């Protein structure tokens, strides 16, 4: 008959084994795994389509992928800004850089028509970076219905409906090599901070969508070769988040390098930037009540900082 000590040992092993496995995966992903982004360059030219690429993370990611050998299809809302970004990138090489203009928060887009100019291009990477939400003091009932709908359309519906139109083309491209679709998510989608309920809910929608679509393409009938990833993102310095950089708050350029370094790692959900992964792990360990109190304080302080700079 097993002793109490043996029972306690079994409990300890059952508790520690998953944490040890997670730690080993952490070491592999952030310190040992080689970059495999070149695997998506299987036909020349191979294109990366990036939404929200007129500044911030999207712009930095476009530059990083161009430097790695990709031609580009970029999306933005402001045509003047988008032209400047494309011209800046074109001056550094001879590969193609295309763009299209669409307000992701607007309704009534014809996504098939939007993608028509690119129907003959070999798209192997799609990064849904577009998305944002202002920090406001008002609660949800203090915001207009149209403002709330803008948040949902920009952060959830636009990437979902664009993916729907792209899928047949991506499956065709996957016949010659792997194809990857990434949704830029947020840690807000896991912790649901105050004043960001619709934004957090939209990111949670993308997380569920990425998993479902990945399952569709991987195990439903014959695997298509198209994979989906949802990226957990913490604070990143950008034009819309004008805060000082730190270990926990990288510049857009540094963060873009982290995304590219871990593309195609095989995980459906992960934080591409290592300090954000540590933060995620810590928040999961603290429990909801502690996290809710901490995030409420942090959101209040951040809102005040951004209002002073506005």
What pLDDT sits at residue 1? 47
Task: Give the 3-state secondary structure of residue 127.
Answer: strand
Which residues neighbour 295 within 8 Å (Cβ) at sequence distance 6 or greater?
191, 193, 194
Cα(160)–Cα(173) distance, rounded to whole angstroms? Answer: 19
At 125 the pLDDT is 99
By percentage, how much of the chain surpasses pLDDT 70? 95
In the prediction, which pLDDT does 176 show?
98
75 close to 48: Cβ distance less than 8 angstroms: no
- Both tokens of 162, joined, read 């664009």
* Residue from 58, 78, 63 nearest 132 by CA: 58
CA atoms of 268 and 275, how far apart (whole Å): 19
Phi, psi of 291 (to 5 degrees): -65, -40
Q: Specify whether the backbone of 99 is left (phi greater than 0), alpha (psi in -120 to 50) or beta.
A: beta
Report whether 264 contacts 182 (CB < 8 A): no
User: Residue 125: what are its φ and ψ, rounded to 5°?
Assistant: -130, 135
The pLDDT of 151-164, averaged and rounded, is 98
pLDDT confidence tier of residue 77, bands split at 50, 70 and 90: very high
pLDDT at 306: 66
Q: What residues are paired with 182 via a beta bridge?
A: 127, 229
- In CATH, the number for domain 40-309 is 3.40.50.720
pLDDT, tens digit (0-9, with 9 covering 90-100), for 36-76: 999 999 999 999 999 999 999 999 999 999 999 999 999 99
φ, ψ for residue 227 (rounded to 5)? -120, 155
Task: Report which listed range, 129-138, 193-202, 206-215, is most confident.
Answer: 206-215
- The CB-based long-range contact list for 109-118 (8 Å cut-off, 24+ gap) reads 109/158, 109/161, 111/161, 111/162, 111/164, 111/165, 112/165, 114/162, 114/165, 115/162, 115/165, 115/166, 115/169, 118/47, 118/49, 118/73
Question: Residue 184: in which H helix or E strand, if any?
Answer: strand 179-184
């Amino acid at each position: 008959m097993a002793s109490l000590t043996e029972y306690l040992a079994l409990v300890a092993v059952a508790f520690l084994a998953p944490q040890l496995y997670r730690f080993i995966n952490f070491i592999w992903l952030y310190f040992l795994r080689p970059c495999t982004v070149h695997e998506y360059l299987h036909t020349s030219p191979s294109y990366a389509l990036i939404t929200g690429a007129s500044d911030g993370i999207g712009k930095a990611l476009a530059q990083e992928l161009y430097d790695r050998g990709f031609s580009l299809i970029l999306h933005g809302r402001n045509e003047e800004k988008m032209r400047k970004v494309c011209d800046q990138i074109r001056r550094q090489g001879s590969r193609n850089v295309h763009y299209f203009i669409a307000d992701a928060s607007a309704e009534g887009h014809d996504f098939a028509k939007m993608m028509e100019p690119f129907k003959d291009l070999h798209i192997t990477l799609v990064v849904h970076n577009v998305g944002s939400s202002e920090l406001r003091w008002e609660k949800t009932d203090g915001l207009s219905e149209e403002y709330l709908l803008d948040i949902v359309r920009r952060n959830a519906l636009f990437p979902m409906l664009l993916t729907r139109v792209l899928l047949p083309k991506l499956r065709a491209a996957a016949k010659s090599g792997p194809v990857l679709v990434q949704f830029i998510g947020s840690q807000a989608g896991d912790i649901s901070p105050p004043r960001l309920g619709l934004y957090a809910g939209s990111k949670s929608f993308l997380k569920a969508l990425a998993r479902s679509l990945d399952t569709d393409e991987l195990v439903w009938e014959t695997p298509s070769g198209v994979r989906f990833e949802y990226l957990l993102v913490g604070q990143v310095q950008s034009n819309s988040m004008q805060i000082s950089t730190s270990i926990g708050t990288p510049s857009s350029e540094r963060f873009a390098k982290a995304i590219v370094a871990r593309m195609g790692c095989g995980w459906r959900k992960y934080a591409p930037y290592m300090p954000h992964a540590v933060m995620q792990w810590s928040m999961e360990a603290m429990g909801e009540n502690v996290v809710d109190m901490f995030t409420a304080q942090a959101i209040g302080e951040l809102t005040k900082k951004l209002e002073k700079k506005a």
